[in-house]
Amino acid sequence: MLVFRGVPERATTSTVLTIGNFDGVHRGHRALLTELTTRARALALPATVLTFEPHPREYFAPAQAPARLASLREKLELLADCGVERVHVLRFDRHLAALTAEQFIEHILVQGLSVRTLVIGDDFRFGQGRRGDFALLQQAGIEHRFVVDAMPTIACEGVRFSSSAVREALAAGDIERAQALLGRAYVIAGRVVRGNGVGRELGFPTANIHIKHNRLPLSGIFAVTVSGLGGEPLSGAASLGVRPTLGENLKPVLEVHLLDFAGDLYDRHVTVNFLHKLRDEEKYASLDALKAQIARDVEAVRAHFARRDTAASPTEDTTHG
């Protein structure tokens, strides 16, 4: 997949395009991207995504902006997995925010990306004051000879697939619900960095994952798997949060204790797959109390994976014909 910062003044090739923030790349996004890639193959044109950095809500109201579900790198990896061939990352700044809807169509869609087919969500709004909508795009398509198709809202058990719904599930600790909305495990990816060594001192060495999220969409103690180390994902117990037992106002960290693993992971880039939440973070009176709780958490994680393995194993057929 090719990634471009910005949009050229004049396109060198036509595109089949979709536009959005695609935070988390949930099942609704995936349905739209499937339609995008299908249309692109039919026209022998690149399946292209236009996305924004930072998120527009982070630009207009950073203190009220929602927690991101994915860093830019994570989002790009997820888009590539969906078959996207090109991504244009457009910087959302004062200049872009001031573009009228008509200017956005003329300068970005027509001149910069030479759009032939535009596939968008049915609630897509754009341009200064969010005045641009599907009707305006259809009118522009007639004038500039491109097709505009809107994807209808997709829901699961009456709940619309959306980044907001995923955030709500994660914040509530309902990891399984978030997975149903995403169509996959919720993940955080990052490089393994050196920590303060407390986990090792307590007898539970951890891989400390560098996280780049503006704020965390979830926190607590989790059963996880870790991918990116070669072979099958490794099972582990993860702590994501501010470690209240160790001090006040600490920076959030992601630490993973891999079960039955010994080795040097420093500087490896890994992906942590969140599968089940055990509990919230708690503050303990001493490191001994914390150590005892970690031991209980590790046993709970082992039990979780044992139950999962048992459920996944085929049952023996004891019938006789």
Domain interval for residue 114: 2-156
Question: What is the residue-averaged pLDDT of the chain?
Answer: 89
Q: Is residue 229 part of a domain?
A: yes
pLDDT at position 252 is 87
More confident residue, 281 or 160: 281
* Phi-psi label, residue 286: left if phi above 0, alpha if psi -120 to 50, beta otherwise: beta
Least confident of 14-18, 69-73, 246-250: 246-250
Q: Is residue 133 part of a domain?
A: yes
Least confident of 96-105, 133-142, 190-199: 190-199
Return the structure tokens found at 257: 């204790």
Torsion sign, CA atoms 64, 67, 68, 69: negative
**CATH number of the CATH domain containing 128:** 3.40.50.620
Q: Based on the fold, state whether residues 149 and 14 are members of the same structural domain.
A: yes
Torsion sign, CA atoms 229, 233, 235, 237: positive
pLDDT at position 313 is 65
The Cα–Cα gap between 52 and 64 comes to 18
Q: Based on the fold, state whether residues 210 and 143 are members of the same structural domain.
A: no
pLDDT at position 156 is 63
Q: Is residue 161 part of a domain?
A: no
Query: How many domains are contained in the chain?
Result: 2
Q: Based on the fold, state whether residues 285 and 236 are members of the same structural domain.
A: yes
Q: Is residue 208 part of a domain?
A: yes
Tokens 């609630």 locate to 123
Give the C-alpha distances (Å, rounded to integers) separating 117 from 114, 160, 194, 250, 273. Answer: 9, 25, 47, 48, 35
| Among 140, 156, 172, residue at a domain's last position | 156
pLDDT at position 314 is 65
CA distance between the termini of the chain: 54
| pTM score, whole prediction | 0.85
Q: Is residue 167 part of a domain?
A: no
